[in-house]
Amino acid sequence: MAEEKSSAAKLILGRLDEPLKVAALPTLISIWMLFGPGMVWAGLSQGSGELIWWPYMVTKYGLFFVGWLIIFAFLQLWYNQELGRYTVATGESIFEGWHRIHHLFGWFMMIMAIVFYSWVGGYLGGAASALAAVTNFPAGWSFTDQGRFWSTILIIILFILILLGPVAYRVVEVIESLAAIASVLGMLLAIVAVPAARAVVGEYFAALVTPRFSLTPPGFDLADTGILITLIAYTGAGGFWNMAYSFWLRDANWGMAKHIGRVTSPVTGAPEAIPSTGVGFEPTEENVKAWKKWSLALWADNLFGVIFNMITIILTSILSYGILRPLYLAGKIEVPSGWKLVVVQGEWLGAAWGFVGRAIMLILGFFFLFDTFITAGDFFSRIIASNSYTNLAGKVKSLGWTWLGLFIPTVILMLPFSYDPKLISTNPALGWGGVAIGVIYTIAVTAVAAYSAVRNWEYRKTYYAITVIFYIMGLAQLFLKKPGPLIILTGVTSMFIMVVACWALLYLNWFHLPKIHPAKENVRPSWIHFILLLIVTLVFTWTFIWYLSVKFG
């Protein structure tokens, strides 16, 4: 009993201190053979920021925020790079890194992820809304019911794909890559085909390189402060979403992750060994040279993702400025908010090509949002599996106490986001239903995490159990919550997480990683990188404080 109490205390008050195993750093033969995580990140990033909030801001405020676009986009570059550095150097996911800082910090990030990903069914709702608007099927159903119908179909299709794909990451990689390429090519075609969009290209690119010395334009509506924060966070993946880059590098066998097994299908895939802790390399001349090549490859992959996503934003906002902005200034339209924008984007091409153009735009909107849900499910399942498998399995014996230790803090954080007094007052069944589903979801996720740890489940078994819960939650959420406000909440939360994670990365990679890694100083970034990430961290911190001052000041 004393040993169990000591172990429990260490899981709370200590840090992950199992030493890294030692192996040779694999040789980087060609970046093209491993190319993929950057594209997947770009595909994931093509979500609400690119399709929803940049078009909203450009329609309402013109080209003011376009002057910030390059800066907002490249803020994500340094954040991604250090997330990736840790995984390429150790083979561990960034969540093992959080636990190496301190277990309290690691559990905090896991619990915040549980709360954060309880909302993302809204992305699938947006994609389903686009399909409903295109097909008007089933005929005679309300638009809301059509959206729910398509959401159900999409969930079934996605679950079959993720279950039967031999390697989970490859399923995500293929879907994200196809969605990213289809979206960019479709937007480019739209600009070429629509004269109103072509006419503003020169003006747009002039604004793109015009520096801004104020975060907001004259006459800025303070009610849009939450949208602005969401815009900044989602000019890329944002917050927790960026951390998925770490897991994708790991499953794509980058660097020391070559020594770590991948998540494979229990139906079609052969099991691969996933050790609970990572692997480091000795500072031999050969390893150090190989490390420099891996670092350059990481820069190239990361930079590609950031630029590809920035191009997407340029294309969507050119279309908005050329078509929707003049209509708004003429008083012919109101700027639609929330997920109404998913359907309204169809007017971009509908203005020029009628029904065919509208259908094409809505299908592109579907690709923007459909892939986000499968990516979220993959990433969230990895978070829970990683934390349970590495930090709990073999260290806890009491199922009840382990579950309570996870459930109590999680439900405390979950309830404020599930409780909607306005919805409860107008529709008590939906309002209290939202609270109930949040609690049930929390019970289910923490129960799987605790049970898998006590019973020493293999990594992939926990992964697929959480995937089932995630998909059920996504479907249930569509009947209880309007997705638009939920995405604003995820955007604000993402900015908060980016602030916290950037400060943590400054400590983890510059100070702690060289202490625990066999290669010591060789894996530490340069001080130029430290200063650049520090600047990014201060920008995120100031922006979030500004938001709080506007919201609550």
Helix/strand/coil (H, E, C) string of 394-429?
A: CCCCCHHHHHHHHHHHHHHHHHHHHCCHHHHHHCHH
Across the range 428-455, mean pLDDT stands at: 89
For residues 82 and 533, the answer to whether their CB atoms sit within 8 Å is: yes
CA distance 494 to 500: 10
CA distance 529 to 519: 19
Percent share of the chain, pLDDT over 90: 50
> Poorest-confidence range of 31-45, 360-374, 416-430, 527-541?
360-374
Burial class (CB in 10 A: 0-12, 13-18, 19+), 515: exposed
For residues 123 and 373, the answer to whether their CB atoms sit within 8 Å is: yes
| Position 294 confidence tier, pLDDT thresholds 50, 70, 90 | very high
pLDDT exceeds cutoff 90 at 43:
no
Short-list 179, 254, 244, 240, CA closest to 382? 244
Tokens of 425: 């007052």
The model's pLDDT over 45-60, given as tens digits with 9 standing for 90+, comes to 776 566 678 888 998 9
Across the range 101-126, mean pLDDT stands at: 85
- Any bridge partners for residue 441, and if so which? none
| 227-to-53, 221, 396, 465 alpha-carbon distances in Å | 7, 10, 42, 34
CA distance 166 to 392: 27
For residues 488 and 227, the answer to whether their CB atoms sit within 8 Å is: yes
Residue 429: partners with Cβ closer than 8 Å, 6 or more residues away: none
Q: b or e along 140-171 (b: 16 or more beta carbons within 10 Å of the residue's beta carbon)?
A: eeeeeebbbbbbeebbeebbeebbebebbbbb
CB count within 10 Å of CB 122 equals 27
pLDDT of residue 13: 85
| Position 483 confidence tier, pLDDT thresholds 50, 70, 90 | very low
pLDDT of residue 355: 63
Burial class (CB in 10 A: 0-12, 13-18, 19+), 6: exposed
| 93-to-185, 251, 277, 499 alpha-carbon distances in Å | 33, 10, 9, 19
pTM equals 0.91
For residue 369, report the phi and psi dihedrals to the nearest 5 degrees.
Answer: -105, -30
pLDDT exceeds cutoff 60 at 343:
no
Give the DSSP letter of residue 521. G
For residues 413 and 112, the answer to whether their CB atoms sit within 8 Å is: yes
Short-list 69, 130, 95, CA closest to 372? 130
pLDDT exceeds cutoff 50 at 308:
yes
Chain-centroid distance, C-alpha 341 = 20
For residues 401 and 12, the answer to whether their CB atoms sit within 8 Å is: no
CA distance 204 to 196: 12
| Position 484 confidence tier, pLDDT thresholds 50, 70, 90 | very low
- Any bridge partners for residue 264, and if so which? 167
For residues 162 and 467, the answer to whether their CB atoms sit within 8 Å is: yes
The listed range with the strongest mean pLDDT (68-72, 150-154, 429-433) is: 68-72
Percent share of the chain, pLDDT over 70: 86
Across the range 505-509, mean pLDDT stands at: 97
pLDDT of residue 115: 87
pLDDT exceeds cutoff 60 at 346:
no
pLDDT exceeds cutoff 60 at 88:
yes
Q: What is the SS3 assignment for 267?
A: coil
- Any bridge partners for residue 21, and if so which? 279
pLDDT exceeds cutoff 60 at 17:
yes
How many helical (H) and strand (E) elements, i.e. helices and strands, does the chain have?
A: 26, 2
CA distance 553 to 550: 5
Helix (H) or strand (E) segment spanning residue 112 = helix 103-116
pLDDT exceeds cutoff 70 at 329:
yes
The model's pLDDT over 246-280, given as tens digits with 9 standing for 90+, comes to 999 999 999 999 999 999 999 998 889 899 899 99
What letter represents residue 440's amino acid? I
| 14-to-18, 87, 488, 503 alpha-carbon distances in Å | 12, 22, 35, 20
Helix (H) or strand (E) segment spanning residue 80 = helix 69-90
CA distance 41 to 198: 29
What letter represents residue 103's amino acid? H
Torsion of CA 61, 63, 64, 70, to 10 degrees: 130
Tokens of 196: 């109103």
pLDDT exceeds cutoff 70 at 353:
no
Q: What is the SS3 assignment for 22?
A: strand
The model's pLDDT over 95-107, given as tens digits with 9 standing for 90+, comes to 999 999 999 999 9
* Cis preceding-peptide flag for 138 (omega within 30 of 0): yes
